[in-house]
Structure 1
Amino acid sequence: MFGIDARTARVVWTAALVVAGLYGVFLVRTTLLVMLIAVLFSYLIYPLFVLAQRVVGGRVPRMPLLGLVYLVVVALVALAVALFGNQVAEQATTLAQQLPTLLDPATLERRLPLPGVLEPLRARLAGFLRDLLQGGSSQAMPFMRNIGAGLMHLAGNLIYVVVVPILSFLMILQAPVFDELLVTVSHRRNGPFWTGVLHGLNTVLSSYVRALALLSLATLIVYGLVLSLMGVPFALLLAAIAALLEVIPVLGPLVAAAAIVGVALFSGYEHVGWVVAFIAAYRIFQDYMLNPYLMSEGVDVPPILVVFGLLAGEELAGVSGIFLSVPFLAALRMVAMQIRLHRAKITSAATPTSPPG
């Protein structure tokens, strides 16, 4: 009737529904982002809650026990801020005040710490650093402006600092419901496939978030202790920056290392070589020993995809996109692996076996 093909109409209707769904996701993108961050935060708290359940042996109801775990976490964070927050803030203020003097090209040649062997090259190295500063600052400004705008946007939505823990509290509280949902899904058509996908995503996200938290904590402690013992200026501030940048794979540690070496170099610190050696040794230990031990196999995303994801995430969602790009890529990789395994099972089941003899 009216010359409309039924199959074409169904295709157009499906495409319209997909476009409408994508537009709806775009409209509620902030809410979805908050929910995703709450899920990631839940993975940090849930192991502590499970440990508390094992200790009390079921003698305390679920909700009061989870509230007690949250109180302990908040108390530990408040204690850490009280012990080290003031020192980090003071060092940040001092560095901000001294930064124009440290980056002054007129005094750079005189302040540059060099061993005796490189002393004849002082003028050339100082000139190279001056050119690098002048060229690099103009290229870095747009990127830093975008990062700063993203941070200001996050700071303007501090309500989410309260909303995220509340959402994660409710998610952990409803964990048994999610387990029942998995059991229900497993009995439906293609149930084993979707169960494998959900279990795989749970493994990837939990391994990634918990490993990232432990790696950041290890970086904060090791950098803070070693840099302080070596007498590097602004040691605690640099350690805190390195710990925060640890959440950005590949590029984050490189930026942190450049910041530490740059601050030490322009501050006139005489043992920059030892700082470089320490950072190189620590990165080898963390990247090739500690990181593989903490991360599961499904989180092993190729570095080229990590860099692509970081750049694309920054373009799409700013600071939040940078943080979420790697777990998103790891989740996609896990789904692709489950699809490949599911197809392999279907192929092997459909292949007839030859009779013996």
Structure 2
Amino acid sequence: MLGFDVGTARKVWTAFLIALLFCIIYIASTTVLVIVFAVFFSYLIYPMVTLVERFRPRRLPRVASIALVFVVVVALIAVVGSLFGVQLQDQATRLLTQLPALMRTDVPNRLPLPHFLEPLRERIVDFLRSQIETGSDNAVPMARSLGLGVVHAASNLIYLVLIPILSFLLIKDGSQMRDAFLALLSTRHRRLWSEIVGDLNVLLSKYVRALLFLSLATLICYGVAFSLLGLPYAFLLAVSAGLLEFVPFAGPLAAVAITLVVAVFSGYPHLLWLVIFIGLYRLFQDYVLNPYLMSEGVEVSPFLVIVGLLAGDQLGGVAGIFLAVPVIAMLKIVIGKARAFHSAPHDEGDAERRALTGKTD
């Protein structure tokens, strides 16, 4: 009578709750990020847990097999870090130290440029030199700030400890948590959210494992090829490319740019072979390996990917860029399932009423 519509009020209330949820996530971004990384780590570990469970004696509890996998994985990460961390640090320090000297050589004058840019070669080279020299002058303050950042990260090592602990608990109690969540819903909505949770589980498991395989493939292929081609700082560039593979779209482009810049300013003589290898590998990665590994559930249009990357960078920096694609894919699943659920008849009575209405009309 007063113009109050119950349906509109429910929609407004739902929109308010969603906005409040996003606000809480933004405020507690550090905690949410730790939980997200714990979830991703769980999806990486879970296949090994299922493999160990096949050979687990029945008298041993499931917790024992989960704990065994976590101990082995953490020990393996520690061993790999101790073996290759020194070499990685040595190459990074050497590159940072030699970069100003490399810029004073005649190598930049031999940069391959298009014919129409040849008259501007001197200005381009001077601009590049000034930019790198400015960066080298700031190397000491940057190193100081980097040291402070390391100290700050060391003070927050609790988060690194919490990630495997939370992953352990997620694997151990994940099914009970899912059942408890579904039990809170009505019978009508339980079916919808059961399908959504199942699809999200498939999406995240395939996405996280695909990213891991893509990163390892890039690390191994770049490392072997760069070593065979005699590229300076081969291990450092390969590790950088492997880590940047976790950042969709922008990461591989940044890895290619960094590799070519280091090769050019190091006076690498086989630049053409390097470009051919990188071009062939990116074609294989982007059009064969990537579609094969991400064949289910991660189909997001390039427009949405770019918009998501820009928005993720504004909201959360590198972490936001990393999470942009899976978040968009998850929203796509939730919206699609919700639309299909609300457009379909919910029970036989609804189907009969719709059929009668259609006949009457």
Same fold (TM over 0.5): yes
Secondary structure at the counterpart of residue 39 of structure 1: helix
TM-score w.r.t. structure 1 length?
A: 0.81
Q: 1:158 to 1:318 in 2, by over 3 A?
A: farther
Map Cα deviations across residues 140-159 of structure 1 (whole Å, 9 max, x no partner): xxxxx9xx89x777665332
Work out the CA distance in 2 between the residues paired with 1:259 and 1:192.
Answer: 49
Change (3 A) 1:262 1:59: farther
Tell me if the contact between 2:107 and 2:264 (Cα under 8 Å) persists in the aligned partners: no
1:223 corresponds to: 222
Q: Residues 213 and 13 from structure 1, CA distance in 2 versus in 1: closer, same or farther, beyond 3 angstroms?
A: closer
Decide whether aligned partners of structure 1 residues 18 and 282 sit closer, same or farther in structure 2, where only a CA change above 3 A counts. Answer: closer
The equivalent of 2:86 in structure 1 is 86
* Distance in structure 2 (CA, Å) of the matches to 1:345 and 1:7: 24
Q: Name the SS of the counterpart of 2:187 in structure 1.
A: coil
- Counterpart in the other structure of 2:36: 36
Give the structure 2 partner of residue 263 of structure 1: 262
CA separation of 1:268/1:49 partners in 2, compared to 1, >3 Å: closer, same or farther?
same
Q: Distance in 2 between matches of 1:55 and 1:253?
A: 39
* Contact preservation (8 Å) 2:312, 2:320: yes
Query: Aligned partners of 2:339, 2:10: CA distance in 1, in Å?
Result: 27
2:239 matches 1:240? yes
Q: Does 1:352 align with 2:355?
A: yes
Change (3 A) 1:46 1:16: closer
The residue number in structure 2 matching 1:142 is none
User: Gaps (5+ residues) in structure 1?
Assistant: 139-144
Q: Distance in 2 between matches of 1:166 and 1:42?
A: 10
After TM superposition, the structure 1 = structure 2 runs for residues 62-211 of structure 1, keeping only pairs within 5 Å, are 62-104=62-104, 107-109=106-108, 112=110, 125=121, 127-131=123-127, 157-178=156-177, 180-181=179-180, 184=183, 188-211=187-210
Paired position in structure 2 for 1:300:
299
C-alpha separation in 2, matches of 1:124 and 1:341: 58
Q: Report the equivalent of 2:137.
A: none
2:332 counterpart letter in structure 1 = R
Shift in Å at residue 164 of structure 1?
Answer: 0.9
When residues 24 and 79 of structure 1 are mapped into structure 2, their CA distance, relative to the original with a 3 A threshold, is closer
Given that 2:182 and 2:193 are in contact with CA atoms closer than 8 Å, whether structure 1 keeps it comes out as no
Superposed CA RMSD in Å reads: 3.8
CA 1:260/1:166 → structure 2, altered by over 3 Å: closer, same or farther? same
Question: Using a 3 Å threshold, how does the CA distance of structure 1 residues 12 and 81 change in structure 2: closer, same or farther?
Answer: closer
Contact kept? 1:220, 1:243, Cα under 8 Å:
yes
Q: Is the 8 A contact 1:245 1:252 kept in 2?
A: yes
**Structure-2 residue corresponding to 1:286:** 285
CA 1:257/1:239 → structure 2, altered by over 3 Å: closer, same or farther? same
| 1:332 matched to 2:305 | no
SS at 1:300's partner residue? coil
- Is the contact between residue 113 and residue 270 of structure 1 (CA under 8 Å) also seen in structure 2? no
8 Å Cα contact 1:113/1:268 also seen in 2: no
Q: Deviations over 1:278-334 (max 9, x none)?
A: 111111111111111111431122222222212211111122212211211111111
